């Protein structure tokens, strides 16, 4: 903390019309205001404007060079509320229950006028339990079931290891111990666990749960980091020969699946979720929102893809369904793909995800605007969504590049 004492006459702090002393602010004879700690000067047409500018210039937590601010600052640490007020540079600890009982009466009793400046509705009405946080995430999050399942498993692992019932129980020491327990995993796996825990805490903020507790928990989660760099994902594009072998062994349904996945740069989970309402066969257009990223995916469909889709029977809202009209789960489609791969004599090392890798690689390497390859893959392109969706034909060069790399396509088996 900067020593505000000066040689000579003691500085006179600014006193408002209501008699409140603003420590660290001085009004000079020329009408300008000066911040004592920094020497910064500014003009103001009114007292309220002067206070606003002073608060804006000095209200920065963690900067010891600044004088005590003119507004009360609050944050929670365990079962206590800490306050810093204009009346003293010291810190005072107060029991939270006493504040929650009657905040304004508490402010009057301890003479803290700054408390009136705080949004009292933001004071927590009770500690958030981890079970409550998980339940809300499972019920309200738009993420895929797989994503939610993995995130909940990570938080439950942390909860059991830390013996934590409430969000406030996740102390820095416990979070550090959790990080150390995962050091035997790869950097990528560690980062995945940490991001899943933070995702559930951040989702609580989105649905209006207490900000003070959750933001404090997220701040403590800064200790969840990896000391080693995360290895970049290595794409494994499927070869043209292997893709043609799969098409040659496919029936009409699997031909449509393979062509649509390659055409629209899809993972198997994307394929299982696609609906008829998201495709216009007359305009040769696919417009959907990718489940993982919540970002628009746009594709210009090849004639072969349109022809394959037109042959399918419509049994429900989803394109690829079982006989009773229910959508396939990604794991069910994965098992079917394994059988197709065996029938096509394609090595087991070839995964369905390699189809997306091949499509994305071909689109990104083509002599087109790389942003449209991102649009095709359902990644953020830096363009506004309404512009992306305005003209599907803009993504056609990227789709044509994929067709050039993997076409023309062989005929498929005639069995259903």
Which one of 122, 138, 156 terminates a domain? 122
Same domain, 53 and 38: yes
CATH of residue 359: 1.10.443.10
Total domains in the fold of the chain: 4
Angle at 167 between CA 166 and CA 172, to 5 degrees: 115
Pairwise CA distance, residues 21 & 12, whole Å? 10
Coil vs helix vs strand at 262:
helix
On whether residue 340 sits in a domain, the answer given is yes
User: Which one, of 230, 232, 227, lies nearest residue 180 by Cα?
Assistant: 227
Q: What is the DSSP string of 74-114?
A: EEEETTEEEEEETTEEEEEEEEHHHHHH-HHHHHHHTT-GG
Same domain, 263 and 397: yes
* Structural domain containing residue 362: 240-406
pLDDT of 106: 58
Which tokens in the block code for residue 350?
A: 């070839």
Report how far apart, in Å, the C-alpha atoms of 113 and of each of 67, 226, 327 are.
18, 44, 60
Contacts of 218 (CB under 8 A, 6+ apart): 198, 201, 202
On whether residue 413 sits in a domain, the answer given is no
Hey, what's the torsion of the CAs at 157, 163, 168, 172, to 10 degrees? Answer: -80
Cβ atoms of residues 398 and 363 within 8 Å: yes
Same domain, 393 and 269: yes
Same domain, 78 and 195: no
Same domain, 311 and 375: yes
Same domain, 188 and 102: no
Q: Going residue by residue through the chain, which has 416 residues, state the pLDDT in tens, using 9 for 90 and above.
A: 334 444 456 668 888 777 777 878 889 988 899 988 788 899 888 787 788 788 778 754 333 333 333 333 343 333 334 333 333 333 333 444 455 556 566 555 555 544 444 444 444 457 889 999 999 999 999 888 888 999 999 999 999 999 998 998 999 999 999 999 998 898 889 999 999 999 999 999 999 888 888 999 999 999 999 877 766 778 899 999 999 999 999 999 999 999 999 999 999 999 999 999 999 999 999 999 887 778 889 999 999 999 999 999 998 899 999 888 888 888 899 999 999 999 999 999 999 999 999 999 999 888 567 888 888 988 887 776 666 666 788 899 999 999 999 999 998 765 54
On whether residue 161 sits in a domain, the answer given is yes
Same domain, 256 and 307: yes
β-strands 21-22, 33-35 pairing: unpaired
On whether residue 17 sits in a domain, the answer given is yes
pLDDT of 354: 96
Same domain, 245 and 109: no
User: Which one, of 372, 395, 397, lies nearest residue 383 by Cα?
Assistant: 372
pLDDT of 110: 53
On whether residue 230 sits in a domain, the answer given is no
pLDDT of 59: 57
Same domain, 345 and 271: yes
Residue 99: exposure state from Cβ atoms within 10 A (0-12, 13-18, ≥19): buried
Same domain, 273 and 163: no
Report how far apart, in Å, the C-alpha atoms of 322 and of each of 60, 308, 319, 327 are.
59, 17, 10, 6
Which one of 170, 194, 223 terminates a domain? 223
Same domain, 284 and 187: no
On whether residue 231 sits in a domain, the answer given is no
On whether residue 233 sits in a domain, the answer given is no
Contacts of 89 (CB under 8 A, 6+ apart): 1, 23, 68
Cβ atoms of residues 78 and 86 within 8 Å: no
Which tokens in the block code for residue 254?
A: 């699997």
Same domain, 169 and 301: no
On whether residue 228 sits in a domain, the answer given is no
User: Phi, psi at residue 33, to the nearest 5°?
Assistant: -105, 145
User: Which one, of 400, 392, 395, lies nearest residue 303 by Cα?
Assistant: 400
User: Phi, psi at residue 384, to the nearest 5°?
Assistant: -65, 145
């Amino acid at each position: 903390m900067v020593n505000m004492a000066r040689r000579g006459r003691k500085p006179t702090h600014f006193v408002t019309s209501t008699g409140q002393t603003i420590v660290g602010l001085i009004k000079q004879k020329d009408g300008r205001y000066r911040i004592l700690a920094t020497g910064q000067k500014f003009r103001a047409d009114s007292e309220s404007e002067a206070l606003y500018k002073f608060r804006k210039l000095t209200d920065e937590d963690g900067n010891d060079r600044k004088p005590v601010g003119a507004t009360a600052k609050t944050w929670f640490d365990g079962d206590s509320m800490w306050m810093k007020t204009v009346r003293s540079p010291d810190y005072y600890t107060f029991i939270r229950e006493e504040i929650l009982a009657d905040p304004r009466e508490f402010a009057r009793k301890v003479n803290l006028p700054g408390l009136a400046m705080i949004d009292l509705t933001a004071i927590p009405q009770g500690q958030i339990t981890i079970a409550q946080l998980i339940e809300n995430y499972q019920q309200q999050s738009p993420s895929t079931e797989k994503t939610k399942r993995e995130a909940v498993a990570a938080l439950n692992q942390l909860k059991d290891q830390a013996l934590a019932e409430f969000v406030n129980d996740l102390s820095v020491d416990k979070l550090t111990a959790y990080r150390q327990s995962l050091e035997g995993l790869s950097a990528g796996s560690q980062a995945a666990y940490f991001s899943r825990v933070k995702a559930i805490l951040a989702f609580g903020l989105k649905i209006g749960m207490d900000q003070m507790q959750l933001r404090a928990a997220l701040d403590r989660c800064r200790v969840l980091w990896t000391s080693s760099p995360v290895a970049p994902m290595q794409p494994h594009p499927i070869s043209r020969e292997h893709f043609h072998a799969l098409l040659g062994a496919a029936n009409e349904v699997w031909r449509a699946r393979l062509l649509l996945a390659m055409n629209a740069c899809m993972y198997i989970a994307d394929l299982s979720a696609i609906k008829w309402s998201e495709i216009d066969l007359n305009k040769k257009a696919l417009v959907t929102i990718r489940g993982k990223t919540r970002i628009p995916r746009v594709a210009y469909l090849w004639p072969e893809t349109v022809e394959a889709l037109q042959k399918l029977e419509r049994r429900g809202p989803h394109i690829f369904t079982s006989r009773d009209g229910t959508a396939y789960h990604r794991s069910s489609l994965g098992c079917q793909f394994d059988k197709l791969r065996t029938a096509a004599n394609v090595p087991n090392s070839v995964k369905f995800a390699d189809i997306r890798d091949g499509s994305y690689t071909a689109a990104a390497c083509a002599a087109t605007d790389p942003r449209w390859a991102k649009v095709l893959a359902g990644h953020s392109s830096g363009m506004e969504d309404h512009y992306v969706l305005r003209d599907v034909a803009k993504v056609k060069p990227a789709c044509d590049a994929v067709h050039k790399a993997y076409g023309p396509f062989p005929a498929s088996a005639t069995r259903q």
